[in-house]
Amino acid sequence: MHTRRIGDVEVSAIGLGGMPMSIEGRPDEARSLATLHAALDAGVTLIDTADAYHLRADEVGHNETLIAKALASHDRGGDVLVATKGGHLRPGDGSWTLDGRPEHLKAACEASLRRLGVEAIGLYQFHRPDPRVPYADSVGAVRDLLDEGKIRMAGISNANPEQIRQANDILGGRLVSVQNQFSPAFRSSEPELELCDELGIAFLPWSPLGGISRAGELGSAYAPFARIAEAHGVSPQRVCLAWMLAKSPVVVPIPGASRPETILDSFAAADLTLSATEIATLDQV
Active site residues: 53
Query: Would you list the DSSP string of 79-100?
Result: GPEEEEEESEE--SSS--EE--
Burial (CB < 10 A; 0-12, 13-18, 19+), residue 27, is: middle
Q: Pick from 20, 35, 15: which is nearest to 213 by CA?
A: 20
Q: What burial letters (b/e) apply to 146-185, b meaning 16+ CB within 10 Å? A: beeebbbbbbbbbbbeebbebbbebbeebbbbbbbbbbbb
In angstroms, the Cα distances linking 168 to 57, 134, 229 are 33, 15, 38
The angle at the Cα of 17, spanning 40 to 62, to the nearest 5 degrees, equals 95
Residues 6 or more apart whose Cβ sits within 8 Å of residue 224:
281, 282, 284, 285
The strand pair at 9-12 and 3-6 is best described as antiparallel
- The three-state (H, E, C) secondary structure of 142-177, written as one string: HHHHHHCCCECCEEEECCCHHHHHHHHHHCCCCEEE
- Residue 4 β-bridge partners: 11
**How far is Cα 225 from Cα 196, in angstroms, rounded to an integer?**
25
